[in-house]
Amino acid sequence: MSKTKLIINSNGSIKIEGDFVIMDCDGKVYGLEGRTALGLCRCGLSSNKPFCDGSHRSNFDHESKAFDLPPMKTK
């Protein structure tokens, strides 16, 4: 099985590709109807949250550039 990929699109959604399940906060699974790729809303404007419906166009500005997080703190 290949890894699941999350791609942070500039000025847009988070694209998820691969073998995945999406659940709500109660553990209920969204019916994805066999999709192996889709976009998750990042701007908060979608009328179909948590999924992207393209509402971010001209209303959301975030250039995505990868960076390294600081080391995890030990307890």
Q: Could you report the per-residue pLDDT of 2-14, keeping only the tens digit for each?
A: 789 999 999 999 9
Whether 63 is in a domain gets the answer: no
Whether 39 is in a domain gets the answer: yes
More confident residue, 58 or 45: 45
Residue 10 vs residues 25, 58, 63, 64, 70: alpha-carbon distances, Å: 27, 12, 5, 5, 22
Residue 25: band (very low, low, confident or very high) from pLDDT cuts 50, 70, 90: very high
Give percent of the chain above pLDDT 90.
Answer: 85
The parent domain of residue 2 ranges over: 1-58
Q: In this model, does residue 1 exceed pLDDT 80?
A: no
| Total count of domains within the chain | 1
Q: What is the pLDDT of residues 30-45, one digit of tens each?
A: 999 999 999 999 999 9
